[in-house]
Amino acid sequence: MADLVVAKKEGLFCVPGQFYIDPWLPVERAIITHAHADHARPGHVHYLAATSGAAILKSRLGDITLDTLAYRERTVHNGVTISLYPAGHVLGSSQVRLEYKGEVWVVSGDYKLEADGTCDAFEPVACETFITESTFGLPIYRWQAQNSILDDINEWWRRNGEAGRVSVLFCYSFGKAQRILNGIDNTIGPIICHGAIETLNRVYREVGIPLPDTLSISGINDKARLRGALVLAPPSAAGSPWMRRFGDYSDAFASGWMLLRGARRRRAVDRGFVLSDHADWPGLMAAITATGARRVIVTHGHVDIMVRWLQENGFDASAFDTEYGTEEDDNVAANESIAFKESHA
Amino acid sequence: MTMSQRTNPLHSKKAMREFAGLYNELDSTTATIGKLDALKRYFSHAQPANAAWAVYFLAGGKPRQTISTKLLRQFSTEMSGIPEWLFDECYLAVGDLAETIAHILPPPGNESCIALAVWMEERIIPLRNETPEKIRGALFGYWDELQADERFLLIKLISGGFRVGVSKLLVVRALSELSGLDIKIVSQRMMGWTDSGLQPSAMRYSSLIAPQVAFEGADPHGQPYPYPFFLAHPLQADPETLGDIRQWQAEWKYDGIRAQLVQRGGQRWLWSRGEDLITDRFPEISGISFADGTVLDGEILVWKNDRPASFAELQKRIGRKTLSSKILNELPAVFIAFDLLEHGGQDIRNAAQSERRGKLEDVVSAIGAPGLIISPVIDAHDWQALRVIRDSSRSRAVEGMMLKSVSARYGAGRTKESGVWWKWKIDPYTVDAVLIYAQKGHGRRASLYTDYTFAVWNDDLEGKRKLVPFAKAYSGLTDREIAQVDAVIRKTTVDKFGPVRSVMPTMVFEIGFEGIALSSRHKAGIAVRFPRMLRIRDDKKIDEADSLETLRGMLT
Ligand SMILES: [Zn+2]
Ligand SMILES: [Zn+2]
């Protein structure tokens, strides 16, 4: 039987269903796995996404024509049965299950195995062919449990507070920031969020995700209130005039990339917290195995390495070229690769 | 209860963890004050035996490599159960062998908390002469006990590759602030700490921070240690600004190895500025006998035809462990003595320069040895006349002049309170800079990284010390040196942009250039003419490289 999903210049395409998954060029019909900018692009005619991700998607893409599916709910389009399963990556993130004439394919989108309080936890879906991401597809990437990272963040924040310093934590605005807010010990001190993060906090709160109270910097008249505060800001705020008001602060960056010294040094922050919204190497392997798939197609990240490893371990593995991300040696502009790293942190 | 707390095993159990924590803090913060705080926090509760080893490593001590990188690589690949190609891919992504190994191994199954001193003395050093099978067994066990950051450190300690961005002076400062001792006392006591012949111990650490005794510094009877070296500052203004020339002692500035020759209790020791004991490397110097209680400061040079030979010739001597009589004949070394620090067993560093000079002349003239030459004082009736003499520097194979105030005491390090030594170098201008980017060469050298970008330190708006690129250079090194640098570049690459590699800053070079001007087109705000590499400064850590301030000071 012909492949159910192929890579076209617009994006991953379901042939019998005549629709795309996370396409990067404007198309007629698109299923969106999650609202990160490189997966959810503007300009498509019809969108389909998980119900829990609808609010975020609309807040980011504006007034789009959007159909939604609850997780595990089924709908049939051109004979292809479509259903969405939690990917555990960010609020509303899905794996897309496609069934056609008894054959099942799953497109993972971005995923993470460890559960956190801001989205439904990843759920393995049995399939014959699994299309997986590979952002952290190297055996050096192995995460500590989320709780121990959050403990480290709490301790860093507390110690800065004791020294009368502000703690500035850079993190991606959508997903990572809310995950930190949800898990952090909010009794340590006041929390201030950059506008870009607060916009998303509002959406999370509206759909009932518990987040602690946060302040905006404009709401603080008394500078003394800043002492001991935790400031969450997107990486782009680093070095901007917005940062000046915090005086003597300690800064940190929360991302899976912070595992490596080189990456930490390039960020030039005081601390790196290794907190990722993607699966680590053992996680990728566990997810692949759990699907029972014999055929695996690898997309954005360490594609060639994962393909070779999977082939050596008995899988029918190959690659899809996608434009979600770029590989190190592609010679692309450095800032593009940084943008990718920030959305895949 | 203090005593029982100190001996509580739980307390010492976390030692390796804590040292890893300290390393992480020092490694990640660029602010000097943050590093100082981290050092003080660590030393305030580290047990003396562990603190002793920490001082040793932080001050630049390098034990011999215990296990070859080849074996480390092989055993870690085996333990991680991944194929070699996958190890290589990981190494490529990480850019550092120890860090790759630290992350690639399975998580620890049997975590232990063993003190740094125990690691070194009972677990690492004894592996030195073991068979590969024994080493393999030991490493598998050790790795299974440690978290990734501790493993990283362990491998750095084992492979002799430990480096962290602190200067020895900062360690001295931290210990001095903690103990309440004068910074000069601590730096004096730290002399010789990093010499590989002496193992750190709790006792040595305790005496490092013990309360000062009344006569300290004056009676180092029988001790091998030199005094902290007094360092010169570059003269950037006209010498006329120094005032009356009669208040200044001018000497040539030699391009050799700064050293102290110590004789006490019938024994002699020759120490380099990096505090390595080099007694055996220069028998024609360490063979010269003085009265006990004599310490001379000077410069070691290879001396031919009544003048210094090039630094490259001196390097040939340094590099040799065994000295044949042929080498000794072809590359004879001399000690150019320019200061006397101890005389008749008395520390005379607080005597005026002129007084020390008088005594130095007495000491040297009493000895007739071909390996000992007194640094001549250069006479000139005014600065202009001195300037004319200085123009002959090149033909004399010296770097320029030293100007020392006749009333100056001998300070420690770069202190200025007790008087200043100025180095008044001839052009080209020189600075010590850090290699941060590399690009491949052309033609014959197309496969090697030969074009380098160099950076100097600068404080940004937030007061953080950062490296700012200021010059590109691609000439001045020998083929052998290029091959060495190329290997380091490949090992320390952190990023690639097209043909350019960005490397972890680890290497310091002396860069010479012909001119300097303001430039808005360059990130550093200045541009230099004809930059070239004068030599690799293996003896310097990146923290000791020059700053943008120094460069700006060279603008006229
Ligand atoms: Zn994503
Ligand atoms: Zn993605």
* B506 lies within 8 A of chain A by CB: no
Please write the tens of the pLDDT for every residue from A6-38: 999 999 999 999 999 999 999 999 999 999 988
Please write the tens of the pLDDT for every residue from B483-520: 889 999 988 888 887 778 899 999 999 998 867 878 77
Are residues A127 and A207 both part of a single domain? no
Q: Which member of B82, B94, B107 has the closest CB to residue A142?
A: B107
Are residues A230 and A294 both part of a single domain? no
Residue A345, in any domain of the structure: no
What residues of chain A lie within 8 A of the CB of B83, using their CB? 312
Ligand nearest to the CA of A175: 1
Q: Which of residues 14-43 of B touch A (CB under 8 A)?
A: 27-30, 34
Burial-class residue B123 by CB neighbours within 10 Å (0-12, 13-18, 19+): middle
Residue A206, domain CATH: 3.40.50
Q: Nearest Cα to B344, choosing from B405, B402, B284, B263? A: B263
- What is the predicted ipTM? 0.91
* B377 lies within 8 A of chain A by CB: no
Residue A289, in any domain of the structure: yes
Q: Which member of A271, A308, A312 has the closest CB to residue B28?
A: A271
Distance from CA of B94 to the nearest CA of A (A): 7
What tokens were used for A140? 């050096």
Residue A340, in any domain of the structure: no
Residue A228, in any domain of the structure: yes
Q: State the Cα–Cα distance between residues B176 and B180, nearest whole angstrom.
A: 6
Are residues A253 and A202 both part of a single domain? yes
Instruction: Estimate to the nearest angstrom the gap between the alpha carbon of B329 and the chain centroid.
Output: 30
Are residues A267 and A188 both part of a single domain? yes
Are residues A108 and A220 both part of a single domain? no
Are residues A11 and A67 both part of a single domain? yes
Are residues A220 and A284 both part of a single domain? no
pLDDT given at position A345: 56
Residue A13, in any domain of the structure: yes
Residue A293, in any domain of the structure: yes
* Helix/strand/coil percentages in chain A, nearest 5: 30, 25, 45
Cβ contact, residue pair B94, A260, below 8 Å: yes
Residue A315, in any domain of the structure: yes
Burial-class residue B464 by CB neighbours within 10 Å (0-12, 13-18, 19+): middle
Residue A131, domain CATH: 3.60.15.10
* B497 lies within 8 A of chain A by CB: yes
Q: Are strands A66-69 and A46-50 parallel, antiparallel or unpaired?
A: parallel
Q: Which of A106-110, A146-150, B31-35, B126-130 comes out lowest in average pLDDT?
A: B31-35
Q: Which domain holds residue A39?
A: 5-140+278-325
Helices B148-158, B15-28: crossing angle, 10 deg rounding: 90
pLDDT given at position A328: 26
Q: State the Cα–Cα distance between residues B18 and B20, nearest whole angstrom.
A: 5
What are the backbone dihedrals phi and psi of residue B321, each rounded to the nearest 5 degrees, phi first? -90, -40
pLDDT at residue A67 tops 60: yes
pLDDT given at position B278: 84
Instruction: Average the pLDDT over B98-110 and give the result.
Output: 94
* Band (B524; pLDDT cuts 50, 70, 90): confident
Please write the tens of the pLDDT for every residue from A38-57: 899 999 999 999 999 999 99
Q: State the Cα–Cα distance between residues B467 and B494, nearest whole angstrom.
A: 15
Q: Which member of A138, A261, A334 has the closest CB to residue B27?
A: A261
List Cβ neighbours of B510 (8 Å cut-off, separation of 6 or more).
B430, B431, B432, B533, B534, B535, B536, B537
Are residues A129 and A156 both part of a single domain? no
What SS3 class is residue A297?
Answer: strand
| Interface residue of B17, B35, B94 to substitute, partner A, most A CBs within 10 Å | B94
Count of C-beta atoms within a 10 Å radius of residue B238: 11
Are residues A242 and A157 both part of a single domain? yes
Q: State the Cα–Cα distance between residues A229 and A161, nearest whole angstrom.
A: 7
Q: Which domains does chain B have, with CATH numbers?
A: 9-30+63-159 (no CATH), 233-425 (3.30.470.30), 429-552 (2.40.50.140)
Amino acid in position B406 = V
Number of domains in chain A: 2
Q: State the Cα–Cα distance between residues B17 and B26, nearest whole angstrom.
A: 14
What is the residue-averaged pLDDT of chain B? Answer: 86
pLDDT given at position B334: 96
B298 vs B501: which has the higher pLDDT: B298
Please write the tens of the pLDDT for every residue from B16-56: 888 998 998 888 776 778 889 999 999 998 999 999 999 99
Are residues A54 and A35 both part of a single domain? yes
Predicted TM-score (pTM) of this structure: 0.68
What residues of chain B lie within 8 A of the CB of A311, using their CB? none
Chain A residues with a Cβ under 8 Å from any Cβ in chain B:
138-142, 259-266, 268-272, 302, 305, 308-309, 312, 328-329, 331, 334
Cβ contact, residue pair B86, A305, below 8 Å: yes
Residue A61, in any domain of the structure: yes
Query: How many A from CA of A39 to the centre of ligand 2?
Result: 6
Are residues A74 and A180 both part of a single domain? no
Are residues A97 and A121 both part of a single domain? yes
